[in-house]
Every structure is written in structure tokens, then in C-alpha cells.
Amino acid sequence: MRISDDRYSRDRLRLDLALRFIHHEARTRTIRAWTGLTDDRIRKLYKSYFDRPGATAVPRPRGRSPQQASFFTRTPRVRQEAALLASLCSLLGAFPPRRPPRAGLAHPGFGFAQGLALCQAYEAYRTLVPAARISFEHMIYLFSALTRGDELRLVACAGCGALLVSERMALREARCLSCASLLADREAGVGASAGD
């Protein structure tokens, strides 16, 4: 009896998490990796919950998942949003206490709690940033890359200590937007007075 209860609640968790991932337009591959559900079950779940009259349509993403770490550091706006998302993931306990032993995998066997924390982080991010630039799939990529630590890493702003996302091999010290503009103003001020 106990075993079947456990199995039932585990299945329930799996389905709940899959539904939240579907709602955030995650790809089938991602849902499979995080829930362990088969493609067939994900397809049926999608059909029964979203593919019926009156249901809010959720577009089904196709094709490849994002694969570029540089996406998160390319523009100041995306850098800022990546930092916010990473901070939310951290606050909500999505990051494992230490690096998983099988580093290098896209989704190194994280649990339901982490999957749920990622959904909560993404929902908070979308509330805070209405015209968000980072999709749920991109956040999954960001989270995996930060956990592996091979392409991206979490660093503290050299000015205020805020959490930032930086490329692993970045040569300059990381600064948030406001600390960077403060520094630029100070340097411009020094340059101007030196020229006087």
C-alpha cells in the first residue's frame, strides 16, 4: 500500500511539473529530461490539457534548444535579465549545494524540487520583467551552464556585490549596469580634470 502511495504521489509530481513546463513552452526533450515522462505521455498530457476547445493555446516549440552561452552576455539588457533570473534561481534554492558529479550532461539528473524552483523563478522573472527577453528554454540552458560551470559562472559585482552572470574566461572584472556607469562617470571626470 505504502509503495503504491509513494508511486502515486511521485507520478502526480511528475505530471504537475510537466504541465508547468508545457505552460512555459518547454520543449518535449526538456520535459522528458526533467520529469522522466515518455514522449508519448507528454504528447497525451499536452493534448488532454491544452488541445481542447476553450483551453488557452500554448504554442508547442519545435527544433533545437538554445545552445549558446554568449546569448546571456551579449547585450547589457540581457546581461541584466540573466543576472536577475540567476539571482531568483539562487534565492528559490534551484542550484544544487555542490556541482553534480556527472558534469557535462545537459540535465544532470536534477530532482522535482529543482524543477519546481525553476518554474517559480521564471514566473517571478516574468512578473518583474513584462517584456522579458529570456525564454524558459533559455533559462534551462542558463541554469545548466551555471551548474556545470564550464561556460558561464556566477560572480559578484566588483562594485556592489550583486550576483552577475559572467563568461567563464572573462578577463575584466564584472560590474552591474549601475556600477559600470558610475565607474565610467568617475573615469570621464578624472579624464576631464586631467585635461583642464
Residue from 13, 106, 179, 182 binding Zn ion (CB under 5 A) = 179
- The three cell numbers of residue 171 are 578577463
CA distance 84 to 97: 20
Q: How far is the CB of 71 from Zn ion (least distance, A)?
A: 22
154 is a contact residue toward Zn ion (CB under 5 A):
no
Task: Candidates 68-76, 118-126, 128-136, 152-160: pick the segment binding Zn ion (CB under 5 A).
Answer: 152-160
For the CB of residue 76, give the shortest distance to Zn ion in the complex, in Å: 13
Burial environment of residue 3 by CB neighbours within 10 A (0 to 12, 13 to 18, 19 or more): exposed
| Beta-sheet pairing, 163-167 with 152-156 | antiparallel
How far CA 9 is from CA of 4, 5, 13, 120, in Å, comes to 9, 6, 6, 20
> Which CB sits closer to Zn ion, 11 or 173?
173
> Of 28 and 166, which CB lies nearer to Zn ion in the complex structure?
166
User: CA–CA separation, 49 vs 194, rounded Å?
Assistant: 67
Instruction: Establish if 108 lies at the interface with Zn ion (CB under 5 A).
Output: no
Stretch that binds Zn ion, among 36-44, 76-84, 120-128, 158-166 (CB under 5 A): 158-166
Instruction: Using CB under 5 A, list all residues that contact Zn ion.
Output: 157, 159-160, 162, 176, 179
